[in-house]
Amino acid sequence: MLKFSDIADTLGTLAIEVPSWAYGNSGTRFKVFPQKGTPRTPFEKIADAAEVNRVTGLAPAVAIHIPWDKVDDYGDLARHAASLGVKLGTVNSNTFQEEDYKFGSLCHPDAGVRAKAIAHHLQCIEIMNVTGSRDLKIWLADGTNYPGQDDIRSRQERLDDSLAEIYAHLGETQRLVLEYKFFEPAFYHTDVPDWGTSLLHCLALGEKAMVCLDTGHHAPGTNIEFIVAQLLRAGRLGSFDFNSRFYADDDLMVGAADPFQLFRILHEVVRGGGFPGTTVQFMLDQCHNIENHIAGQIRSVLTVQEMLARALLIDREELGAAQRACDPLAANQIMMDAFYTDVRADLADWRAARSLPADPMAAFWAGGYQERIEAGRIGGTQASWT
């Protein structure tokens, strides 16, 4: 197994994009729970994200969601982010919260509804042109609830046509990142339910189309690290939406349910060339229902860093030798030794050497930021995903 000093410089290249919506109020289908100090504007969301980056040094970019983060001047929002030491990242579209999209958006039988959904995505690309964002991420709620409700193949053809029109408007350095989800809110069939469907559409579109892998969007028992390996092998893994789940798409803090799975995923990312030095975007996609919004993001980015550090400790030459020798016990032991290595003290020293708080969570609670936003953000309408 490698030593922590062997991986310290590589670990320093880790950058995680945090989602603006994580700082708004969230909850379940039964109740959204408000918190004191919750942002009322996209500018305040960016400020909270910048606090996460300040204490961790891991979150230099903030993904935005349109229209949740709609502002009059996106240039002003980008400049605001830069003034706080972060930048605007992925632009996420939203075609699942309007009446017109009840029966779909890019897959809808009505050409007028599809045109409206396409126009929304073109607006997102215009925002990207202003903010300098690279990625347009598309997640669709499209699907059906009953057999015979709509023609499955026709919906795929409509999706193909709609995506192609959006793709044609991308700039030279911009990408379309297509997310998939096993189910919900469509319960009979979802139009982009799995990585294979997403990949097929991306291959048809062109080289600037990539797959987004949300770790919560799979059937129970799915080997997610296998999917990671395949998408990296195809050169089509565009980004991660890291979160955690116990049952379905729970959007819990990453690593909360199965840190070993996160370790295995990151092992495949490293082995497949997805880190360091590639264009694979590490992003969080989480809703903090009961925990403090900012602290929940701090805990999450630190967990990704810790599991990545453990994955980097694997001696891949030694592992490869055990694999070629068909020695499953030796190979598994190499993996488990790395996973069970406690790197928390090493990471604290690593942060201190880089003028970061050795304990980012303690630094956040001691710094007074939470008290200041609770005192200052009085009145107005708190941000929420509803």
Percent of all residues in the chain with a pLDDT value above 70, rounded to a whole number: 100
Given a contact cutoff of 8 angstroms between Cβ atoms, the answer to whether 3 and 363 are in contact is: no
Q: Amino acid identity, residue 275? A: F
Q: Amino acid identity, residue 223? A: N
Given a contact cutoff of 8 angstroms between Cβ atoms, the answer to whether 86 and 50 are in contact is: yes
Cα–Cα distance measured from residue 314 to residue 306, given in angstroms and rounded to the nearest whole number: 13
Tell me: the pLDDT tens digits for 167-200?
Answer: 999 999 999 999 999 999 999 999 999 999 999 9
CA 250, 121, 239, 200 torsion: positive or negative? positive
**Longest distance between any two alpha carbons in the chain, whole Å:** 66
Binning pLDDT at 50, 70 and 90, where does residue 22 land? Answer: very high
Binning pLDDT at 50, 70 and 90, where does residue 346 land? Answer: very high
Q: What is the pLDDT of residue 386?
A: 63
On the CB side of 117, CA atoms within 13 Å amount to: 32
The pair of structure tokens assigned to 75 is: 């240039």
Cα three-residue angle 39-23-140, rounded to 5 degrees:
115
As for how many domains the chain has, the answer is: 1
In a domain, 349, yes or no: no
In a domain, 10, yes or no: no
Please tell me whether residue 346 adopts helix, strand or coil conformation.
Answer: helix
Cα–Cα distance measured from residue 207 to residue 175, given in angstroms and rounded to the nearest whole number: 9
57-64: average pLDDT? 98
Tell me: the pLDDT tens digits for 113-168?
Answer: 999 999 999 999 999 999 999 999 999 999 999 999 999 999 999 999 999 999 99
Window from 52-66, 197-211, 340-354, 372-386 with minimum mean pLDDT: 372-386
Q: What is the pLDDT of residue 277?
A: 87
Given a contact cutoff of 8 angstroms between Cβ atoms, the answer to whether 174 and 212 are in contact is: no
Percent of all residues in the chain with a pLDDT value above 90, rounded to a whole number: 96
Residue scoring higher pLDDT (42 or 386): 42
Angle between helices 360-367 and 293-312 in degrees, nearest 10: 160
Q: pTM score > 0.85 for this model? A: yes
- The separation between CA 188 and the C-alpha centre of its own chain, rounded to angstroms, equals 26
29 to 36, 274, 384, 385: CA distances (angstroms): 21, 36, 13, 11
Given a contact cutoff of 8 angstroms between Cβ atoms, the answer to whether 284 and 17 are in contact is: yes
Q: What is the pLDDT of residue 385?
A: 74
Tell me: the pLDDT tens digits for 81-103?
Answer: 999 999 999 999 999 999 999 99
Given a contact cutoff of 8 angstroms between Cβ atoms, the answer to whether 25 and 382 are in contact is: yes
* CATH assignment at residue 23: 3.20.20.150
Q: What is the pLDDT of residue 334?
A: 98
Q: What is the pLDDT of residue 292?
A: 97
In a domain, 3, yes or no: no
In a domain, 278, yes or no: yes
- For the cut 80, the answer to whether the pLDDT of residue 25 exceeds it is yes
Given a contact cutoff of 8 angstroms between Cβ atoms, the answer to whether 295 and 249 are in contact is: no
Cα–Cα distance measured from residue 88 to residue 82, given in angstroms and rounded to the nearest whole number: 8
Q: What is the pLDDT of residue 29?
A: 79
345-356: average pLDDT? 98
Per the structure, the complete domain to which residue 221 belongs is given by: 16-316+358-376
Q: What is the pLDDT of residue 357?
A: 98
- For the cut 90, the answer to whether the pLDDT of residue 347 exceeds it is yes
Tell me: the pLDDT tens digits for 266-323?
Answer: 999 999 999 998 899 999 999 999 999 999 999 999 999 999 999 999 999 999 999 9
Cα–Cα distance measured from residue 128 to residue 125, given in angstroms and rounded to the nearest whole number: 5
In a domain, 386, yes or no: no
Q: How confident is the prediction for the chain on average, in pLDDT?
A: 97
Cα–Cα distance measured from residue 26 to residue 170, given in angstroms and rounded to the nearest whole number: 32
DSSP 167-206: HTT--TT-EEEEE--SSSS-SSEESS-SHHHHHHHHHHH-
In a domain, 176, yes or no: yes
Cα–Cα distance measured from residue 132 to residue 130, given in angstroms and rounded to the nearest whole number: 6
Given a contact cutoff of 8 angstroms between Cβ atoms, the answer to whether 135 and 174 are in contact is: yes
Cα–Cα distance measured from residue 236 to residue 201, given in angstroms and rounded to the nearest whole number: 11
Q: What is the pLDDT of residue 278?
A: 85
Binning pLDDT at 50, 70 and 90, where does residue 28 land? Answer: confident
> Is the bond leading into 42 cis (omega within 30 degrees of zero)?
no
Cα–Cα distance measured from residue 59 to residue 356, given in angstroms and rounded to the nearest whole number: 13
> What is the phi-psi region of residue 93: left when phi exceeds 0, alpha when psi lies from -120 to 50, beta otherwise?
beta
- CB-based burial label for 381 (10 Å; 0-12, 13-18, 19+): exposed
In a domain, 323, yes or no: no
> Is the bond leading into 259 cis (omega within 30 degrees of zero)?
no
Q: Which residues contact 305 (CB under 8 A, 6 or more apart)?
A: 11, 14, 16, 56, 58, 347
In a domain, 178, yes or no: yes
DSSP-derived secondary structure letter, 384: B
